[in-house]
Amino acid sequence: MALGLPSVLVGSWTDDDAATGVTVVLPPPGTLGAIAVRGGAPGTREAAALSSTGAGVECHGVVLCGNSVFGLAAADGVVRWCSEHGRGLDIRDSIVPVVGAAVVYDIAGPDSPRPTAEAGWAACEAASADEPVTGRVGVGRGCTIGKVAGRDFSVPGALGVAVERSGDLVVGALVAVNALGDVIDADGAVLAGCTAEAGAARYPYDAVEAIPGFTGRGDADADELARSNTTIGCLVTNARLTKPEACRAADLAHTGIARAIEPPHTNFDGDALFLLATGEVDTQPDLVATLGAAAVARAIRSEFAS
């Protein structure tokens, strides 16, 4: 089942030619939504409403998109799909969906095709309760990792999933790994990442000016390239949480990124995690956070471990 919960749907749309894609998570009605952002260069939608200070509580979908801010257009298609399928807030006889979104930067060039609202709709149409397809699909299609010594030494990233359980409590994580840093194992060994030779200048141990081709600096595309790294994801749980508890659990789940990415949460990453709570199991919020961090770390490593 999708992320350990039978009521949750996951679907992806992939453009292999443009090396980009969209992945959507559709929870059941009444699901509470939250977000926590730790990266310095995020690209998001509905982050204010789903944050700890926002008034938004219910969330009807989460979209993880390629193509940086251009990919946010896919969320329009998800909003339309949710509205036409009765998923949303009933406001003045209109169905108004709350759909959160976050992006990774995988733009190959100025003429690269962009994900559109139709891509978001297609991801919804493909959504099912089956175990999600992972790897170089959906938002994971254009991901790269290991850019600390420059983009020339990066390797492909991926979309990964993992599920953690404790009794009746379930926490699942779906994560797109497009980090500046390397993916590391629990013992610190590099599972996948920078291919530069030993002794090459690496961020943050060396200044960015000393690293040829470092992401985000040194050319006319600096502002765009500064946003070309991001680990984004969506956690789902059957826990019953308040909005502040859900936001805190999402924030603490970022610990999983810190365990599995080195270095994590840099000024050149847009790391963001959504959390969707379906509200069926009473539990301690700290247990949700603990399982969430473990699921995030395992999801990140899942496509790189031998």
Look up the CATH number of the domain holding residue 34: 3.60.70.12
**How many structural domains comprise the chain?**
1
Note the pLDDT of residue 113.
84
**What does the pLDDT look like over 76-113, one tens digit per residue?**
999 999 999 999 999 988 999 999 999 998 887 777 78
**What does the pLDDT look like over 18-55, one tens digit per residue?**
999 999 999 999 999 999 998 777 889 999 999 998 88
Separation of CA 185 from chain center: 20
Average pLDDT over residues 210-237: 68
Question: How far apart are the C-alpha atoms of 234 and 263, rounded to whole Å?
Answer: 21
Share of the chain above pLDDT 90, in %: 80
Question: How far apart are the C-alpha atoms of 176 and 191, rounded to whole Å?
Answer: 16
Note the pLDDT of residue 155.
95
Average pLDDT over residues 148-174: 96
Question: How far apart are the C-alpha atoms of 115 and 118, rounded to whole Å?
Answer: 8
Domain boundaries, position 105: 2-302
Query: Contact 46/57 with Cβ under 8 angstroms?
Result: no
Question: How far apart are the C-alpha atoms of 150 and 172, rounded to whole Å?
Answer: 33
Note the pLDDT of residue 305.
82
Look at strands 230-239 and 89-91 and give their pairing.
unpaired
In this model, does residue 66 exceed pLDDT 90?
A: yes
Strand, helix or coil for residue 6: coil
Note the pLDDT of residue 219.
45
Question: How far apart are the C-alpha atoms of 170 and 4, rounded to whole Å?
Answer: 7
Handedness of CA 34, 9, 254, 263 (dihedral sign): negative
Q: E strands along 180-296, which residues?
A: 182-184, 190-192, 230-239, 261-262, 272-281
Count CB-CB contacts under 10 A for residue 159: 29
In this model, does residue 222 exceed pLDDT 70?
A: no
Q: pTM, whole model, 2 decimals?
A: 0.94
**What does the pLDDT look like over 186-219, one tens digit per residue?**
999 999 999 999 999 999 999 988 998 885 443 4
4: left (phi over 0), alpha (psi -120 to 50) or beta: left
Note the pLDDT of residue 292.
98
Question: How far apart are the C-alpha atoms of 269 and 140, rounded to whole Å?
Answer: 16
In this model, does residue 150 exceed pLDDT 50?
A: yes
Query: Contact 169/287 with Cβ under 8 angstroms?
Result: yes
Average pLDDT over residues 280-299: 98
Average pLDDT over residues 125-152: 96
Note the pLDDT of residue 221.
46
Query: Contact 58/32 with Cβ under 8 angstroms?
Result: yes
Q: Vertex 77, ends 94 and 20: CA angle to 5°?
A: 160
In this model, does residue 177 exceed pLDDT 80?
A: yes
Burial group, residue 16, by CB count within 10 angstroms (0-12, 13-18, 19+): exposed
Helical H runs in the chain?
A: 47-50, 73-84, 117-126, 222-225, 243-253, 255-260, 285-302
For the chain, give the mean pLDDT.
92
**Bridge partner residues of 33 (DSSP):** 276
